[in-house]
Amino acid sequence: MLVLPISGVQATWRPATGRDDIALADSARGLRGAVEHVGNTVEFSSQLDPMDLPVGDVDLLVLWQRREHLGDTMVAEGRCARCHEPVDVRFSLAAYAAHHRPRASRRAEAVGDGWFALRAGGATFRLPTARDVLSIDPSADGRGALLARCVREQVPAATARAVESAMARLAPTMRTAVTGVCPECGAGFELEVDARELCMAELRREAVTVYDDVNLIATAYGWSQDDILDLPSARRRRYAATIAGRSSELQQRELADA
């Protein structure tokens, strides 16, 4: 069980089936796809629509699932701005999440029912949710529209910046820059990393194997598609690996992930 650091909600990943894998493999990119995936596969300690989670909590759920399935090490790739050679940065998802944990803000204090107030006065606000972000028209001023949804008052620019600073500490997302040194030319570089989307891409690549698994198992055993898709994903992969002669490889991977 994972306690989400921003909302405080308890969450548990339920065992996935082939149907969940198909939904993940075919899911939309971006925050909407991540929210739908969380809604399909997470059980919460209270009745909750995942759309009402802070974005940072959605991010963390995806990071933690990727960590459980594929390990803690993540690789972000890009190109050196000086020599244009490929570069990458390897980092620990656990350390990355810890670095992006919520922190108290000296600018704001909680005033109840999920609302905060600037200590200097002038604004009361709540933390943005996935619903807030996804409701904004892509052609609109996203920053202004988000503040309009989450701040009770109309505020001047300086107050808006103070609110945004407080939000960034109280409800950080998993998107940031990571730095490294190019092994070819020695120049420092910076990569903009959206850890949630990197993790979702890897989880999709794992999930898309469901189609090959169904084909293998149906061909070998004559089972129907529905029966195969209803199997827990781990069991389906074991059957497919056995048929393909990869059972020992799969077992070693499962032991390494344990």
DSSP string for residues in the chain:
-EE-TTT--EEEEPPPBHHHHHHHHTPPSHHHHHHHHHHHHEEESS---GGGSBHHHHHHHHHHHHHHHH-SEEEEEEE-TTT--EEEEEEEHHHHHHHT-----SSEEEEETTEEEETTSS-EEE--BHHHHHHS-TTS-HHHHHHHHHBSS---HHHHHHHHHHHHHHS--SEEEEEEE-TTT--EEEEEEEHHHHHHHHHHHHHTTHHHHHHHHHHHH---HHHHHTSBHHHHHHHHHHHHT-HHHHHHHHHHH-
Mean pLDDT of the chain: 93
| pLDDT surpassing 70 at residue 252 | no
Average pLDDT of the segment spanning 209-222:
95
| pLDDT surpassing 90 at residue 46 | no
pLDDT at 138: 83
| pLDDT surpassing 80 at residue 48 | yes
Q: How confident is the model at residue 168 (pLDDT cuts 50, 70, 90)?
A: very high
* Lowest mean pLDDT segment, chosen from 90-104, 117-131, 191-205, 242-256: 242-256
Is 108 in contact with 117 (CB distance < 8 Å)? yes
pLDDT tens-digit series, residues 56-105: 999 999 999 999 999 999 999 999 999 999 999 999 999 999 999 999 99
Q: How confident is the model at residue 8 (pLDDT cuts 50, 70, 90)?
A: very high
Classify residue 245 by burial, with Cβ atoms within 10 Å: 0-12, 13-18, 19+: exposed
| pLDDT surpassing 80 at residue 150 | yes
pLDDT tens-digit series, residues 109-130: 999 999 999 999 999 999 999 9
Average pLDDT of the segment spanning 195-213:
96
Q: Dihedral of the CA atoms 51, 53, 194, 257 (nearest 10)?
A: -110
Task: Tell me the domain boundaries of the chain.
Answer: 2-99+174-207, 108-170, 210-257
| pLDDT surpassing 90 at residue 245 | no
% of the chain beyond a pLDDT of 70: 95
| pLDDT surpassing 80 at residue 253 | no
